[in-house]
A and B are shown apart, each in its own frame.
Chain A
Amino acid sequence: MATLLSEPGLETGPAETAATAAATTTTAAPRRTRKISRERVSAHDGFLTHASGRWAKVGGTLALLSLGLYLFAGVSAAHFGGSWLGYSLGTIGALLIVWLTMLGMRKRAITPGRWSLKAWTSAHVYLGLALLVVGTLHSGFNFAWNVHTLAWALMLLVIASGMFGVWAYAVLPRALSDNRFDAGGAITEKQMIEALRSLDRQLHEAAQPLAPDDAALVETSLDEDPFAGSLVARVSGSYPNCATRRAARQLREARAFRPRTAGDPLDKVDSLLARKEAMLGRMRRHLKLKAWLQLWLYVHVPMTFALLAALSAHIVSVFFYW
């Protein structure tokens, strides 16, 4: 992986830029544009391996240092939080928690500057893991049914959901990409929906010559909302009551008992239903993977806010009741 700053000569071009353009023709002396730095990256490098694991090293060092001090500094475990080491670990932990929360802001505030969200994510992951050690040691393993332990437990929950998120981010994108792949390139979510609509229209036309009972079966498939279904169905990707599959199955069963005729309209309906089933399957896999990539955030983020609340209570109470 190579990170190159742009060559010095490029930063002060005399030409018009999108940022300075006013008119197409000008005889004014060429303007010097203000210095803009542009970072160039020429290869893909994921957040886990960012900058050869810089933040993994920082996080690991922090965790090891805390653990070493805890074991060898000889601070008594009773009232550990009030000792110099306890205070230090507590301060580091609290600041870390606030900083880790700021990722949500960084992600959304697209300000100019040489920041990289990937570097932030990388630091977020590894420092968040280090927090597990820092925060737990800060407790001095004094657990009880109080707000202090609640804060610790919430922290564990947040970190655990985050670890799940890291797993999902590391593993699922490949499957998402594979599912979107097709011979013509890649199919988008919008195209999947369009394809389903188009199949529905064709089914509707093809079902016109059918007998009322058969047509009613096709109708159930057409009436089915492809997005409906419980959270469980969405996450598991299993839709046992899929109307399309049922219609296809029942039509085939019924046909087995009828004489075979040339140009049977059911032939066309059958093949359309099969195509719809395949497309539905693909879209459901797509939605399932997207759900897995996003669902953990619904635990991670609210728990973070609960943690911030518990943390505030913890800090206020320890200073108040000391």
Chain B
Amino acid sequence: MGPVSEMFRVAIVGSGPAGLSAAGRAAQLGLSHVLLEKTDHLSDTIYKYQKGKHVMATPSQLVLRSDQEFAAGKREDILGKWNERTREIGVNVKYNADVKSIRGTGPAIEGSVQKIVTRARDGTSTTKEVQRHAPPYAIELTNGETVMAEAVILAIGTQGNPNLMRCPGGDLPHVTYQLDDPTAILDEHIVVIGTGDAGIENARGLAEDAAQGNIVTVLNRAPRSTNVRESFATAKEPNAKALVEDHEAKKLTIRYETETKEVEPGWIVLTTRDGEERIRCDRIIARIGSAPPRGFVESCGIEFASADRLAFPVLSPTFESTAPGIFVIGALAGYPLIKHCMNQGYDVAEFIDGNTTLKPADEPLLAAKFAGLPGKRSVDQWLEFVRSNVSILEGMSPLQMREFMLDSDVRAYAKGETVFERNDPGSSLFGIAGGSVHVLVDAADPSKVVRIEQGSIFGEVGLISGRRRGATIVAAEPAICVEISRNAALKLQSQVPSAKKAIERIGVERQLLQMFGAGLTSEDIAGAVETAKIQQVKAGEAIITEGEDGNDIFVIRVGSMIVEKEIGGKPVFLSYLPAGSYVGEMALIDGGQRTATVRAAIKSEVIRIDGAAFGQVLAAKPALLERARRDMDVRRKTNALIESKKDGFSGVVDLFSEQAKFLVGQGLGEATDVLLIDERLCVGCDNCEKACADSHDGLSRLDREAGKTFAHLHVPTSCRHCEHPHCMADCPPNAIHRGPDGEVFIDDTCIGCGNCQRNCPYGVIRMEKVPPKKPPLLSWLLFGAGPGPGEPPYKWSKKHTRYTGDPAIDQALDRKKAIKCDMCAGIDGGPSCVRACPTGAAIRVAPDEFLTVARLEHEST
């Protein structure tokens, strides 16, 4: 063991906003402390932002409580202020201190054993049990030093550490994991491992200038393919293409189907398709991704709420983890915004110093949320009221409740007031904290209702499937309901496993009741619900195979399916099934083998109901059987029509079938509304793009020419308004929502981080600054003023941006925000791209509207 430090009262690991603020407070309080930072500068994540990046301070309502300053501004200004202030208040910073392990050195805590479950790729898992020890903690650094502290604040964020090479010799000094300046490396044999964007950028940087004399080899595990998206699956396409081009130009070498076997000083041994090969190598740059910090955190004795990938550590109201004396704050605790982090840093230092009366900084925000409700309760009382009355929230800690309520809303409803209407879009979940509500089961007859009691939930179908609301809900008596946003609901399910189970069970039952219409009660289907299993289906995987035996019923819960049938030796597309539909009834009702294959269009989830159990429900309820038969007849007619049209001469069915498959491949399976261009009509005038720009601040949200085409049907680069939008997945200010017409839109709180752009698999989001206003159309038509219709050219925008000299305003003018299609929400007449198409080539459709047999008939006439 290396040198051991003095005993500190508190050690803070990580010098991001949370850690800096905590250390600052500790310094002000006069606690003996040390701030451990693994690099040689403060706040590495923000340090690595691109130069001049504008950092936003959201949520704006939240008051900042920290000894550090923070307001929206340039990266440089913010870092500068933090550095200065850190020096000024005398924070004891220890740089280049990369923490390897944290363990208690006190006596073993009786009964406190941490179970760490590790899952291997093949699905097996191993459980390791670690006995927790009381503080003080010994913090071991990678350089061999040990820091001793009574309490530890973990503020390490979620970026994690780079994955290390595990082959023999992977620990040799010439194996590196980053590259700061590619131009500083001369005349070396370099092997780059990892074909993500980072690896590609490093390799290209090293080989860029032939005068540097570097011999660069890129190892790629995947086989060579003409399609770079296959051979470089984790990289952006332009990057991969550029790399392949460099390879063709002999600037560097890409070795496909190659892995590292062993590293030796000056050499590397490769496993290739044709056997082993040993090549010269002075430097290895391994860019093989990074591991989330969970493994490290768990090894410190900190328990996570569940095995879910989204789960956060279990914390007390004072941020203390299950390891006594270790506190977790910041992004790692589930708070990704800078202001939240800084406030927590302050609070946690106060808690450690013994301040028990401190009210969290979000108190006023929560007070505002509860302000409109009847009955005078304090924030804490309201939180407790909601927590104890809504059954799925019972497992939450007070801290989790606070955070949960920030993402949720509570509303009081008068008797008879509508909570939401049938066909409203919405993916939030509702919990009834007081009173009860009625579900209008029959749109035509408002007297047919089903009551949902206090404590239960509703709206879960929208949450799970991302589809529009299936029924109208009105308050049966004065009621108080919590509306839980989709993000909060997902977090809740990962934090509280019992809530997840309850939501799933209610979801299955309601989905069945809703699907088969009125007249059924939960008792009728209890048997079927008992047998129901939720099953994940990968894209392309079949749940029913033609010709197989089986009579289970499947209900599509998430995603969508396509139905295919083999006709004349070719699979022919029969129909498209969106979430909320069921399939498999033919074999159950009429017996016999499965008549068609049903496979997932995208990653989906189905409820599998045992055929026998469902058969009993059908037998007991003749009306239901009648309905199922009617549905079945409609499907049979469709199949018959397609099969009858399928003959050797007209290619119509083939075309329809192939086109449907192409569209599913283009993401229509998860779309709710997509722009489709018939290239037999499109004259390439780009009026759609111009119209788009002119109805949205002068920025077009679609690229007509880009995108894929099949049999003259073109899917341009434009938002598909996915059922479960990928862009929403990781938006720090939670600025992406779904509006009442089903549009997915980004609101004004966008901080310009670019996460949505990276997460969108269809490349439809761009980061742009808003160009200045153009002169009106008539002055262009008559006098040629301004750039004319459409997006103004970059040069014009730059020239006409009116800078004021006031940095606050000028920075706002230059700020880039995420721009995407909002389906022209709020514009009378609907999408401008469609209205402005002179030839009728552009339409916006939902997949279930477009992938119908009606189109087949239309096409063949």
Contact = CB atoms under 8 A, between A and B. Distances in A.
A1 B766 CA distance: 34
Q: Which of A20, A21, A24, A43 lies at the interface centre, i.e. has the most chain B CB atoms within 10 A of its CB? A: A24
A42 interface: yes
B510 interface: no
Contacts, number: 234
A241 interface: no
A4 B782 CA distance: 38
Interface stretch (A63-71, A105-113, A257-265): A105-113
B369 A6 contact: no
Contacts of A18: 739, 743, 745-747, 822, 825-826
B687 A117 contact: yes
B694 A43 contact: no
B506 interface: no
Q: Which of A13, A18, A45 lies at the interface centre, i.e. has the most chain B CB atoms within 10 A of its CB? A: A18
A38 B679 CA distance: 24
Interface stretch (B9-17, B68-76, B416-424): B416-424
B840 A50 contact: yes
B740 A39 contact: no
A39 B823 CA distance: 12
B681 interface: yes
B244 to A, nearest CB: 10
A184 interface: yes
Interface residues of A, number: 74
A186 B666 CA distance: 13
A47 B841 CA distance: 9
A2 interface: yes
Interface in A156-209: 168-169, 172-174, 176-177, 180-181, 184-186, 188-190, 198, 201-202, 205
Contacts of B743: 17-18
Given A15-B425, A25-B409, A177-B714, A108 B781 contact: yes
B245 interface: yes
A293 interface: yes
A184 B683 CA distance: 22
B840 A45 contact: yes
Q: Which of A1, A44, A46 lies at the interface centre, i.e. has the most chain B CB atoms within 10 A of its CB? A: A44
Contacts of B681: 44, 46-47, 173
A20 to B, nearest CB: 7
B709 interface: yes
A23 interface: yes
A282 to B, nearest CB: 14
B547 interface: no
Contacts of B733: 24
B426 interface: yes
Nearest to A114: B829
Contacts of B745: 17-18, 21
A177 B680 contact: yes
Contacts of B680: 46, 173-174, 177
Contacts of A293: 683-684
Interface string A1-14: 11000110110111
Interface stretch (A29-37, A127-135, A136-144, A312-320): A29-37
A7 B423 CA distance: 9
Contact of A25 (B59, B687, B695): B59
Interface stretch (B20-28, B44-52, B700-708): B700-708
B87 interface: no
A309 interface: no
Given A17-B740, A25-B409, A169-B683, A189 B705 contact: yes
A172 B680 CA distance: 8
Contacts of A219: none
Nearest to A177: B679
B56 to A, nearest CB: 13
A18 B735 CA distance: 11
A29 B411 contact: yes
B830 A39 contact: yes
A117 B838 contact: yes
Contact of B679 (A22, A112, A120, A173): A173
Contacts of A14: 418, 420, 424, 740
A34 to B, nearest CB: 8
Given A10-B424, A202-B248, A46 B845 contact: no
Contact of A117 (B410, B747, B777, B837): B837
Contacts of B749: 23-24
A26 interface: yes
B535 interface: no
B117 interface: no
A120 B836 CA distance: 10
A115 interface: yes
Contact of B835 (A15, A19, A116): A116
A216 interface: no
B822 A42 contact: no
A42 B708 contact: no
A38 B741 contact: yes
A36 B824 CA distance: 11
Interface in B833-858: 834-841, 843-845, 849-850, 854-855, 858
Given A177-B680, A293-B683, A47 B825 contact: no
A299 to B, nearest CB: 17
A270 interface: no
B830 A2 contact: no
Q: Which of A118, A168, A201 lies at the interface centre, i.e. has the most chain B CB atoms within 10 A of its CB? A: A118
B849 A42 contact: yes
A103 B367 CA distance: 56
Contact of B843 (A17, A42, A177, A189): A42
Contacts of B845: 40-42
Interface in B662-686: 676, 678-684
B683 A115 contact: no
A293 B250 CA distance: 42
B829 A17 contact: no
Nearest to A38: B830
Interface in B341-370: 365, 368-370
Nearest to A28: B372
A202 B248 CA distance: 8
B781 A184 contact: no
Given A20-B826, A42-B845, A105-B781, A201 B249 contact: yes
A174 B681 CA distance: 8
A18 B422 CA distance: 21
B249 A202 contact: yes
A290 B684 contact: yes
A115 to B, nearest CB: 6
A193 B748 CA distance: 37
Contacts of A47: 681, 838-840
B828 interface: yes
A46 B839 contact: yes
A281 B591 CA distance: 59
A186 B822 contact: no
Contacts of B261: none
17 contacts: A7-B423, A15-B425, A15-B739, A16-B747, A19-B739, A23-B747, A29-B411, A38-B741, A44-B678, A110-B690, A110-B695, A112-B828, A113-B828, A118-B840, A120-B838, A186-B708, A202-B249
Interface of A: 1-2, 6-7, 9-10, 12-30, 33, 36-47, 50, 105, 107-110, 112-118, 120-121, 168-169, 172-174, 176-177, 180-181, 184-186, 188-190, 198, 201-202, 205, 290, 293
Given A47-B838, A177-B679, 19 more contacts: A10-B424, A16-B739, A17-B739, A22-B747, A36-B827, A38-B741, A38-B830, A38-B831, A40-B845, A47-B681, A110-B691, A112-B827, A114-B829, A117-B836, A118-B840, A173-B684, A173-B841, A201-B245, A202-B245
Interface of B: 59, 61, 227, 245, 248-250, 365, 368-372, 406-407, 409-411, 418, 420-426, 676, 678-684, 687, 690-691, 694-695, 705-709, 712, 714, 733-735, 737-741, 743, 745-749, 777, 781, 788-789, 822, 825-832, 834-841, 843-845, 849-850, 854-855, 858
